Amino acid sequence: MSSLNESRVLRQRREKKDKGVAINKKEKKSQNNVTSVMEEVDDTLIPEKVIGALRNSNNEVCLIVKWKNKESTDTVPASIANYRFPNLVIRYYEQRIRWIDV
């Protein structure tokens, strides 16, 4: 990898770490619609899609979840989402993984 690419990758990592937020522009926009951080997922809610990821004030990874039967989105700790709807979480990460040559 060229030194230019290395510096770009390092800068992007620093920016993400400083912001502690999202992977792309869509996810940054979607954060404005987040209504709450859920400690427990209501059994009546059906997850449709994971639309973003961020770190909360405790430096925990949280996922922004869109529900089928609710208009607003919620922030769910990744530990809960991984247990309650693992397939959606895996699909989200698979769609966004980027491999880099080191």
Q: pTM value?
A: 0.61
With 0-12 / 13-18 / 19 or more C-beta atoms within 10 angstroms meaning exposed / middle / buried, residue 10 is: exposed
**3-class DSSP assignment, residue 59:** coil
Q: Are 51 and 90 in contact (CB under 8 A)?
A: no
Per-residue pLDDT of the chain (102 residues; tens, 9 = 90+): 556 666 666 666 666 555 444 444 444 444 445 555 667 778 889 999 999 999 988 899 999 999 999 999 999 999 999 999 999 999 999 999 998 988
What kind of architecture, by CATH, is found in domain 47-95?
A: Beta Barrel (2.40)
Distances 64 to 1, 80, 96, 102 between C-alpha atoms, Å? 33, 12, 14, 30
Q: Where are the domains of the chain?
A: 47-95
Angle of CA points 19, 16, 18, to nearest 5°? 40
